[in-house]
A and B are shown apart, each in its own frame.
Chain A
Amino acid sequence: MPSNKSVSDAPIFQFTNCRILRNHELQREDLWVREGKILNPEKLFFDEKGSADIQLDCKDSIIAPGFIDVQINGGFGVDFSLATDDFKSGIDLVSQKILSHGVTSFCPTLVTSPPSVYHQILPQISVRNGGAHGAGILGVHLEGPFISKEKKGAHPERCLRTFEAGAFEDLLATYGSLDCVRIVTLAPEMQRSSEVIRELTQRGICVSLGHSVANLSQAEEAVRQGATFITHLFNAMLPFHHRDPGIVGLLTSDKIPAGRRVFYGMISDGIHTNPAALRIAHRAHPKGLVLVTDAIAGMGLAPGRHTLGQQVVEIDGLNTYIAGTKTLSGSVATMDTCVRHFLEATGCSVETALEAASLHPAQLLGIEHEKGTLNYDSDADFLMLSDSLYVQATYIAGECVWRRDTSGM
């Protein structure tokens, strides 16, 4: 039936025979899309006297908002911390490939690197919408170099820096530019970190605590100054201790300023965190859990040796270590694998698992009015999933940008 042309000529799509994630539950409702946004069909019916131009039968799929990965270091042979001649085509490749994992928006992540690397790479990354070419780029996540020596993990020690010399000026000089930076991970126990956190927060950059030996008070102080995220909880920080819970204690801290929520990244690949620890975190603070992949260049490739910034890493199955050591360095898990593993390990509902990869990262970045939900007027970035949460199709701005082919690939 033709729609009323007085408001918009654009075609109206009605996705039927599906269960959509809305208001924290799977509802048997149709999903309506027009001009790349989720449309309110009741408003369309009564105000515009409009109806669908094209109806698509989703064969009882689950429709969820597209996944948002806020910590991904590369994949498919591409390392975001390596300044190569064809860096741009590398980031394009990853953004295109991760569509099949259900990721519709991401934050390319750079690990601790020398200033020259930041100066070469950062100008080559720009915030951009997703589409058939690949997932959208929300901004860069800079993990380091202002982190703790004791908890450097896979980061190269020689590139670590402190704030002592010039605090924020030093940070700016190290990175070169903060134009498209979305998240900065730092260790809050460092001297003068408070002023840096304040300055970054004022500029709308999300400050994350990680690779740190901070105690709970230092972590709480950082949150007071504006920090809102914890980078891969449990990994590269002091373990939970019952008299000083450290950064992990933020999950149940009573010193979080009113109206604010602390989010925490979890790599639920089955390796970085024991399922029991995953469950403890989830049960303590379910609304703050953000699934991340922390994927490295080797993700999507065969086992063997790959680079991660200035280091060489070795992949064996799902395990990735600094070559020759037992130090974990990123993961090769894909986002949809993380979602499925999280579901299985915690026994949570499908809705909870899906929200940990969509709604929560959107809330962390303050973009939940456009992304991370299927609410009316938000961007039509969504996934069609099977009951066991395997991605069947990926849509960005209402356009199908990836579909599992029926041969089961």
Chain B
Amino acid sequence: MRLVILEDYDQASEWAAKYICNRIIQFKPSQGKYFTLGLPTGNTPLGCYKKLIEYHKNGDLSFKYVKTFNMDEYVGLPRNHPESYHSYMWNNFFKHIDIDPNNAHILDGNAPDLQAECDAFEKKIEEAGGIDLFVGGIGPDGHIAFNEPGSSLSSRTRLKTLAMDTILANAKYFDGDLSKVPTMALTVGVGTVMDAREVMILITGAHKAFALYKAIEEGVNHMWTVSAFQQHPRTIFVCDEDATLELRVKTVKYFKG
């Protein structure tokens, strides 16, 4: 793996955005040759999205020939609810760029047959030729997407019940009222993300430090599902200084090079 350590959140966001931008430009996407991007939600990638929007508005980056696949979406939340991941993606990314709406894929948490919706999503990824770069985050409990502790490391897109840690972490977005937080979600599996040609995980903040330690300095373990990426040929972890607080000094020094 590569571990890229930047000084603070803003620099980490910028580094990640530049990496994505360069990947897309180098790929030279065009009609019939789309760059496929896997995308996360949450607090961590907000800075990265802002930078990507900036590059787009400067005329340096177009999403015209980019296809996106989001990692997850809540089940049972109306699509236009301010906390749905559809709303998040629209407000924080899609409305500011030139992506074709037909190319922006997000799981539908209100589909009549949820498993069929998940299977169809896997099929769409396959038809798009697989994912070129999957960008993800890490939960405080070491999960990627909603692959909570105990999720199979070969899992595919499916319906998941959310762990209490996750529900507690999400409560702040629902007026602090636990009863309002969705308890289930549709999510890409660990296996789905592992299929991507390249993976970039964004981790910032001291509260994620322990999860990062478990993910890269301990063994591959289904209790810390991000650890699966130790076995992926091309993974980059992008973090800020605070996220490295639980790592060994030796590890940090090695990667700071």
Within 8 A of B (CB), among A26-74: 30, 41-46, 48-51
B69 to chain A, nearest CB (A): 15
- Is the pair B86, A46 in contact by a Cβ cutoff of 8 Å? yes
- Is the pair B101, A42 in contact by a Cβ cutoff of 8 Å? no
- Is the pair B95, A30 in contact by a Cβ cutoff of 8 Å? yes
Write out the residue numbers on chain A whose beta carbons fall within 8 Å of the beta carbon of B87.
42
Tally A-B pairs: CB < 8 A. 29
* Cβ-neighbour of A50 out of B79, B94, B101 (below 8 A): B101
Write out the residue numbers on chain A whose beta carbons fall within 8 Å of the beta carbon of B98.
1
| Chain B minimum-CB-distance residue to A32 | B95
Does any Cβ of A come within 8 Å of B80's Cβ?
A: yes
* Cβ-neighbour of B100 out of A30, A42, A43, A51 (below 8 A): A51
Write out the residue numbers on chain A whose beta carbons fall within 8 Å of the beta carbon of B26.
none
* Cβ-neighbour of B80 out of A30, A42, A44, A48 (below 8 A): A42
A377 to chain B, nearest CB (A): 13
Does any Cβ of A come within 8 Å of B173's Cβ?
A: no
The range of chain A's interface size is 10 to 19
A13 to chain B, nearest CB (A): 15
- Is the pair A42, B95 in contact by a Cβ cutoff of 8 Å? yes
- Is the pair B101, A46 in contact by a Cβ cutoff of 8 Å? yes
- Is the pair B90, A46 in contact by a Cβ cutoff of 8 Å? yes
| Chain A minimum-CB-distance residue to B101 | A49
Write out the residue numbers on chain B whose beta carbons fall within 8 Å of the beta carbon of A50.
101
| Chain B minimum-CB-distance residue to A2 | B100
- C-alpha spacing A50/B98, complex, angstroms: 12
- Is the pair A45, B80 in contact by a Cβ cutoff of 8 Å? no
- Is the pair A51, B90 in contact by a Cβ cutoff of 8 Å? no
- C-alpha spacing A399/B11, complex, angstroms: 45
Does any Cβ of A come within 8 Å of B102's Cβ?
A: yes
A14 to chain B, nearest CB (A): 10
Write out the residue numbers on chain A whose beta carbons fall within 8 Å of the beta carbon of B94.
45
Write out the residue numbers on chain B whose beta carbons fall within 8 Å of the beta carbon of A51.
100-101
B121 to chain A, nearest CB (A): 15
Interface readout for B76-100 with A: 1 if CB under 8 Å, 0 if not? 0001100000110010001100101
B94 to chain A, nearest CB (A): 6
Asked, given contacts A46-B101, A51-B101, whether A41 binds B95 with beta carbons under 8 Å apart, the answer is yes
Interface readout for B84-126 with A: 1 if CB under 8 Å, 0 if not? 0011001000110010111010100000000000000000000
- Is the pair B90, A1 in contact by a Cβ cutoff of 8 Å? no
| Chain B minimum-CB-distance residue to A46 | B86
A260 to chain B, nearest CB (A): 30
- Is the pair B102, A49 in contact by a Cβ cutoff of 8 Å? yes
- Is the pair A42, B102 in contact by a Cβ cutoff of 8 Å? no
Write out the residue numbers on chain A whose beta carbons fall within 8 Å of the beta carbon of B80.
42-43
Interface readout for A1-13 with B: 1 if CB under 8 Å, 0 if not? 1001000000000
Write out the residue numbers on chain B whose beta carbons fall within 8 Å of the beta carbon of A42.
80, 86-87, 90, 95
- C-alpha spacing A1/B102, complex, angstroms: 11
- Is the pair A45, B102 in contact by a Cβ cutoff of 8 Å? no
- C-alpha spacing A364/B217, complex, angstroms: 67
**Of residues B79, B95, B106, which shows the largest number of chain A Cβ atoms within 10 Å of its Cβ?**
B95
| Chain A minimum-CB-distance residue to B79 | A46
- C-alpha spacing A43/B79, complex, angstroms: 9
A319 to chain B, nearest CB (A): 50
| Chain B minimum-CB-distance residue to A1 | B100
Within 8 A of A (CB), among B178-200: none
Within 8 A of B (CB), among A137-193: none
- C-alpha spacing A310/B50, complex, angstroms: 64
Write out the residue numbers on chain A whose beta carbons fall within 8 Å of the beta carbon of B101.
4, 44-46, 48-51
| Chain B minimum-CB-distance residue to A29 | B95
- C-alpha spacing A51/B102, complex, angstroms: 10
Within 8 A of A (CB), among B152-209: none
**Of residues A43, A46, A50, A51, which shows the largest number of chain B Cβ atoms within 10 Å of its Cβ?**
A46
Write out the residue numbers on chain B whose beta carbons fall within 8 Å of the beta carbon of A45.
90, 94-95, 101, 104
| Chain B minimum-CB-distance residue to A44 | B101
| Chain A minimum-CB-distance residue to B98 | A1
A255 to chain B, nearest CB (A): 36
Interface readout for B7-25 with A: 1 if CB under 8 Å, 0 if not? 0000000000000000000
Write out the residue numbers on chain A whose beta carbons fall within 8 Å of the beta carbon of B104.
45
Write out the residue numbers on chain A whose beta carbons fall within 8 Å of the beta carbon of B106.
46
- C-alpha spacing A41/B95, complex, angstroms: 8
| Chain B minimum-CB-distance residue to A51 | B101
Write out the residue numbers on chain A whose beta carbons fall within 8 Å of the beta carbon of B100.
1, 49, 51
Within 8 A of B (CB), among A348-405: none
Known pairs A44-B101, A46-B90 / 11 extra A-B pairs, C-beta < 8 Å: A1-B98, A41-B95, A43-B80, A45-B94, A45-B95, A45-B101, A46-B101, A46-B106, A48-B101, A49-B101, A51-B100
Binding site for A on B (CB under 8 A): 79-80, 86-87, 90, 94-95, 98, 100-102, 104, 106
Binding site for B on A (CB under 8 A): 1, 4, 30, 41-46, 48-51
**A-B residue pairs in contact (CB < 8 Å), sample of 16:** A1-B98, A1-B100, A30-B95, A41-B95, A42-B80, A42-B86, A45-B90, A45-B101, A45-B104, A46-B86, A46-B90, A46-B101, A48-B101, A49-B101, A50-B101, A51-B101
